[in-house]
Structure 1
Amino acid sequence: DETQVPEESGSDETTVPDYQLPRDREMKVIRPPNRLSYADLIYYALNAAEEVQDSKPKNFREASESIGSKDWLKAMNEEMLSLEKNQT
């Protein structure tokens, strides 16, 4: 006995309309969350405020013209006395 497989005529392929492969789709635009939208501005403002707040005079002129000039002059005089006392 021979077993015969009946041949089907026609096509088994079905077409799917508007099918797109993932590679054919547009890439999703990745954006940071809204809560981070001002992060750079806030970082800059805090950094600038810290620099202004912690700024120390770099030379005598800046110290003598600063708001706390009396304190700076007092500290400089104390340092000079200490150097003289220790003979350094």
Structure 2
Amino acid sequence: MLQDVEGQPEMEDMTQETHLSDLVNYQLTRDRTRRDIRAPSRFDDFVSLAVMSYNDLMFKEPNSYSEAVSSKFADNWYSAMNEKMESLKKNNTWILVPNQKISLL
């Protein structure tokens, strides 16, 4: 069928060369560094808003002392309150005065 004519490559050689060039192209594509895919910076504010909204929904701040000390974060609230009181005392924010007895009518 195929005759080896001088100066013309056989069909098998051509397919091998094609296969070899495809393999080289694949290796070049596979080994090149990949680009980092990031969302456009215009969406940064939306992500921040979503995180803040989630935190507001999931971690509601207590409205009273009794809510704070009965929550699962009571230890954190106690330490925050003590820290605040110590800071106020250290800065002489107020002066403690003795309690005056008031007669009730």
TM-score class, shorter-chain normalisation, is 0.3 to 0.5
Give the TM-score of the pair, scaled to structure 1: 0.41
Which structure is richer in relative contact order (CA contacts within 8 A, separation 6 or more)?
A: 1
Give the TM-score of the pair, scaled to structure 2: 0.35
Q: Which structure features the higher share of helix residues?
A: 2
